Every structure is written in C-alpha cells, then in structure tokens.
Structure 1
Amino acid sequence: MDQLISLRHWLHAHPEVSRQEMETAKHMWRFLEDHAKPDAFVQLGGAGFAAIYEGKAPGKTVLIRCELDALPIHEINDDIAYRSLHDGVGHKCGHDGHMTILAGVAQTLADRPQKGRVVLLFQPDEETGSGARSCCQHENFEKIQPDHAFALHNLPGFSAGAVICKTGTFASEVKYAGIKMAGKEAHSAQPETGFSPSFALAQLTLKAREIQAKYDRPDAYALVVPVYSQVGVQASGICPGQGEAHFTLRAELGAVVEEMWQELMACATELAEADGLTVSFDIREEFAATTNGQIGFDMIRQATEMTGHAFVAIDQPFRWGEDFGEITKRYGGAMFGLGAGEAQPDLHNPDYDFPDEILKNGISMFSALIEIVTTEVDD
C-alpha cells in the first residue's frame, strides 16, 4: 500500500487535462512494466492503452476501466505535500485514485488468474465524453472484446468504502451544445440599422427554463442549464452582431435529452429568423447514459458479499455524466460508486482530494469481480 499511495500522490501532483495525458499514461505504463508486467500492452486512441493479463486456462474476458485525465480546476489544498504542480489543473474528480486502484489490481495479477483474461483499460478524455468512444472505435480494441466490463467512481457523501449501485441508468445522458447567432453590427445610437442577437439569445436562455419545466418530474429529473454566453464587445458605441450561448442538457434517458435539444433548436431557429439572424449549432460533448445490466449489477452485489463491504442500493441515477456508458452500451457490465467519506468535499470542488484509505476497497472489489467473471461457467 505504501508503494500505491506514493503512486497516487505522484499522479495527484502531476495532473493533465483531457487529450493531454501523455505523461500520465507513460508513468502508468512504466509502473506496470516495473511492478506488474502484463502479457501484452495494447495501444488505443490518444494516450489510452490496455494491459492484458492472460489466465492459466481459457475463459471469459473481464475489462476493468480507469480514467487518466484531470480537470481545469486550480487546487487550493496548500496543506498537502503532493498538491498539484500545475496551476489551474487538478485531480478534482479522483481519477488519480482510480488509476492507483487499477495499479493495485495489476499487482494482484502477477501470478495470473487461474483462467480467463483480464484487461485493464487506462482510458483518456473521460471529462470530455470522447475517451471511451475513441477507445472502443480504435482498431486495436478488436483484440480485447470483453465479456463483462466494470468501472467505479469515488463518491463523496457516502461512507468510506461503501459500494453504491443500481440497475438501469447509473449516470445520466448528457449533451453539451453551443448555439451561435450572427447578424450585423450597428452604431448603438442606431441599433435599427443592424441585426443584433442580444434579445434573441436572452429569450432563448429564458426558454431553456420552460423546456426544463416541461420535462422535469419528481420521478425522472431533466435539466437544461445555461453554462456560458457571450455577446458583442466591450465598447459603448457598438450594437453587437455576433453572439452565442452554451447549454448542458441532461436526463436519465437519452430520448428525453434529444427531445429537449430539438425543442431548444427549434426555438433558437424561430427567434433568429424573427430578428433577421443566422443560427448555427455545435454539439461539443456527449455522454451516453451509463446503464447497468442486471447481470453486471448482480456480480457487483456478489462481490460486496465476498469482500464484506457495505452495499447501498439507490433508486435514482446520478445527475453527472460518465462516458463509461459508451462501453456499457456495447458490452455487458456495470459501474458502481465507491464511498469516499461523508465529510469529504464534493467532486469538482477545488479542495477535493481522493482518500488513500479507500484504495484497498476498490482493489478488493475489482479483484472479486475478476474472480466472479473468470470462474464463470461458459455458456
């Protein structure tokens, strides 16, 4: 554990944002080479790679995933010796802990499983929603093709080491999109001689609240959240001719997200036409809903019994997106939460730090899942 904690602290001090995780990937690759050498490495998209551990006899393939990327959030934890060395970047989602857990799992595979095959996936770009998709679409992923796939996410607000899970949607469908409107600048003393997007974008922002209210219900939430807007330049004499607004749409079901997006686009088009503007749409990020199959859920429940961890069954999905959904919609599997402690700061807070004491819980859970899958009787 001392070795793993040192690894986690190094990762925490050297965070890299999505699509820039090359040094992180190199460090994890070297760690596996030195301490838990796999039978093969498989290079995937971007910084992503997989480490494959072949069992002593043929059997099922189980994939365990972690994420390489950090967030563009400045760390304020001045009281820790391993605080981020990069201003404006921090492991505020706990992916440093997730990588370390997989490193620990790799160490348990040094003597190889009795049967089957274990694939440890070190995935880039989770925070942008593109990493899992690019890995699955990479030609080298054909060499993996898991029978079951699992991942975890640390969860502040739950007892340290507890396992949190549900069937169906575990993490939400998310779409992040921009809407741009363009017209013609004019003197602000004569706004009627131009075409400004200011009022149309303001009305669109208010319309987002109406669309959300239409779909949001106590038993199935839906959100349409304005996250960014920009109109014109800081000059008193110019009535703007360009502007844009960005929205995040999320819900338990992808169909609801798409319906809300269609309504928002239709409203934007109508408002733009009324004010003599052109309008364009830009899908910037998409997260498929992470859906837990019954078999994967049952395996997680069985693993908690084997390890003695507390199990917390939840009724509603988490509102955040997780691109592991790109894997669960292609292969059987499930994601579970790992309690990080009830008094911890929330995820994406500038003072969040993954608790080292739950590393062993994540390792034991994945080890139990590997045993369950690889000893499963073939169909």
Structure 2
Amino acid sequence: MSSNIDLLTHLRHWLHAHPELSRHEGETARHLRGFLIEHAPPDAIIPLQGAGFAAVYNGRAADKTVLFRCELDALPIHEINTGIAYSSVYDGVGHKCGHDGHMAIMAGLALCLANRPDRGRVVLLFQPDEETGTGARSCVQHQNFAQIEPDYVFALHNLPGFPAGAVICKTGTFASEVKYAAIKMTGKEAHSAQPETGHSPAIALADLMLCAQQIQARYDRPDAYALAVPVYTQMGVQASGVAPAQGEVHFTVRAALAATVQQMWQDLRDHATTLAEQYGLNVTFETREDFAATTNGQAGFDMIQQAAVVTGRPFQKLDQPFRWGEDFGELTKRYEGAMFGLGAGQSQPALHNPDYDFPDEILPDGIEMFRALVAIVTA
C-alpha cells in the first residue's frame, strides 16, 4: 500500500501543479486517462461531456453498479503556497477546493480495482465543470451515460476544520441549493450636472442590494438558513460628467431547500421589476449557475456510516447542511446514494483560501471508504 500511496501522492502533486479551470480540463483528463491505462486498465472508458469520462471495472460476477464521482476543475484563485515544490505553474489558477486530492483518491480506488471486484460493476466518473454547477448535469444528460445507469452513486468532499480522516454525513440536504444570477438595468445617459434629464440605475441598484438583506431575513431561520448575497456590481463609465445608463448586480441565493431559493429569487425579481418601473428603466434577468441541492438518501447514508465502522474511522452526523453548493445533487436526485465529508484537519486553511493545500495524509482514508462502499453495495 505504501508504494501505491507514493505513486498517488506524486499524481496529486502533478495535478496540483497543473490546475485547469472549468470547461478547460483537457490536459487533466488526458493525464488521468494515461495514469489509469498504465496502472489500472479499465474494461472501458466512456467519453462524456467536455473533458468528462467514466472508467468502468466489471466484477467477476454480475451484480449492482456503483458509481463514484470526482471533479477535474480548479479555481480562479492565485496560489500563495510558495513553500511547496508542486505549487501551481499557472498564475491566477489553483486547486483551492482540493479536487486534486479527490482525483488522487479516485485513482487509488482504480488501483484497488485493477484485479477486478468479486461482484458488480464499479464506475469511476471523472467529472468536469463542478465549480460552475454544470458538469454533473451535462454528464448525466450525455447520450453515453445510458451505458452506465448506476444503482448507487457516491462522492466525498474534503472538509477543513474537521479531524483528519473523520467521516461526516447526514440524511436529507448535505450541500445547499444555490442560484447565481444577474439583474441588469438599462436607462438613458445624462450629464451628471443634469441627472434628471436621463434615467440612471444607480438608486434602483442600491435599493435592490439593500432589499436582499430584507429578503434574507424573511426566510432565514435557526433551523433552516437562507442567504441572499450581492457578489458583484458594475455601473456606468469612469467619467465625471456622465450619469450612467447601465448597471448590474449579481447575487448568490442559497438555502437547504430548492423551494426557498426559488421564492427568494422571485422576490428579488419582483422588487427589481417594481424599481425599474419607478425609475424608468428596462430590467433583464440572467441565471448564470444553478446547483441542485445534494440530498442524501437514507440507504446511501446508512452505507456510508457502515463503511466508516468497517474501516474504523470516526463518524460524525451533521445537524445542518453545508452552505456551499455541490453539483453532485444532479446525481443524487436521479439515483440512490449520498455524499460524505472527509475531515482534512482542524488547523487547515478553509476551502477556496489561497493557501489551501489538500493534505496527502488523508488519501488512504478516502480510498478505504470507497473500497468499503464497493463491498457493501455488492455484498
């Protein structure tokens, strides 16, 4: 096992040093396919959307199909970990969500499957575009996914702030429903000395951002949180004499339940429409990203808890879902299964921080959890 971990650590470091953004993961996918073909040749490699692909390992006897998913993409965050030999070679791009570690864990599972499982079929989904919320959806909607049709689906996500190697899970919503959307307003330019002769979106956009706080307060509760957060705004040109005609504000709206997100977004749309009428503006709405809530079924949760017991790893049941979005929800709303968290260490920097680096010491924990789930599903 130690030689395999050395091999997987080297793979993880290469992936960390060569991060690729969503929809641009071609070299990452090629490197992983090459690793599998050399070290754990699958029975089939199924091309999916974009850089996505699935590696299939058929058991010696027919049984259920279990799918495991990892993500290929990195983030537009500049790495500040200058003290590591494998820091990102690309300015402004880094594996700051730990997807390099998730890929290495999946490759480790492939090494365990090289001699084939006793029963069933194991599918390893190397999925692109997770950070945009589009990758899982595009993969399951791809015509080739009909060759897979899993009985169970599983994924993990590393979790800084939890003990290294601990397993964290819950039934119901594990990761939140998230909508990222833009509201754009257009009026008429005017001289800034005579703003009344035009139609500026300035006051309407300011009002809309303040209204987001009121909408959030309307739905946020101790037992079911809700957030409506302005994340970007742009208006006008850099000229002292021009009162602007155009502006936009972007929001992320998130909650444990899809219905809550939909209602908050509708409230924002309604208020924006009212403001546009009041200030003589045109208004348009654009949804940029949608993350379906990752909802864990009872059977999937039970299997994860059983795998933690079998592998001797501490198990923690969550009371509340995580606030971040995860597009694995596109799989859990179609198939039985669940996602779990894998503790990355209590002193680790948080996800999406510029100094985050996936801890190599938890690679065996993820691999052993996935191996145990294969055995449980096909028992």
TM-score bracket, shorter-length normalisation:
over 0.9
Letter in 2 for 1:180: K
1:138 paired residue number: 142
Query: Partners of 1:205 and 1:115 in 2: how far apart?
Result: 55
Cα deviation, 1:112-138, whole Å, max 9, x if unaligned, reads 011100000000000000000000000
Query: Partners of 1:29 and 1:273 in 2: how far apart?
Result: 55
Query: Partners of 1:111 and 1:80 in 2: how far apart?
Result: 35
TM-fit CA distance, 1:168 = 0.3
1:71 paired residue number: 75
Q: Given the two structures, how large is their TM-score scaled by the length of structure 2?
A: 0.99
* Equivalent of residue 101 in structure 1, options 105, 111, 128: 105
Cα deviation, 1:224-280, whole Å, max 9, x if unaligned, reads 000000110110000000000000000000000000000000000000111100000
2:64 paired residue number: 60
Counterpart mapping for 1:1-379 below 5 A = 1-375=5-379
Query: Partners of 1:114 and 1:363 in 2: how far apart?
Result: 18
Query: Partners of 1:288 and 1:137 in 2: how far apart?
Result: 15
Query: Partners of 1:65 and 1:110 in 2: how far apart?
Result: 18
Query: Partners of 1:320 and 1:179 in 2: how far apart?
Result: 22
Q: State percent identity of aligned pairs.
A: 72
Query: Partners of 2:193 and 2:45 in 1: how far apart?
Result: 65
Query: Partners of 1:141 and 1:327 in 2: how far apart?
Result: 12
Query: Partners of 1:110 and 1:237 in 2: how far apart?
Result: 69
Letter in 1 for 2:83: D
| Structure 2 spans left out of the alignment, 5+ residues | none
TM-fit CA distance, 1:374 = 1.6
Query: Partners of 2:248 and 2:309 in 1: how far apart?
Result: 51
Letter in 2 for 1:274: Q
Letter in 2 for 1:271: L
Query: Partners of 1:230 and 1:113 in 2: how far apart?
Result: 55
Letter in 2 for 1:246: H
Letter in 1 for 2:311: T
Query: Partners of 1:211 and 1:180 in 2: how far apart?
Result: 19
Query: Partners of 1:156 and 1:326 in 2: how far apart?
Result: 24
Query: Partners of 1:71 and 1:235 in 2: how far apart?
Result: 33
Query: Partners of 1:104 and 1:7 in 2: how far apart?
Result: 10
Number of aligned residues = 375
Cα deviation, 1:63-118, whole Å, max 9, x if unaligned, reads 00000000000000000000000000000000000000000000000110111000
Cα deviation, 1:255-312, whole Å, max 9, x if unaligned, reads 0000000000000000011110000000000000000000000000000011000001
RMSD of aligned Cα (Å): 0.4
TM-fit CA distance, 1:331 = 0.3
Query: Partners of 2:267 and 2:112 in 1: how far apart?
Result: 51
Letter in 2 for 1:219: D
Letter in 1 for 2:205: L
Query: Partners of 1:305 and 1:312 in 2: how far apart?
Result: 11
| Structure 1 spans left out of the alignment, 5+ residues | none
Query: Partners of 2:159 and 2:372 in 1: how far apart?
Result: 20
Query: Partners of 2:332 and 2:363 in 1: how far apart?
Result: 24
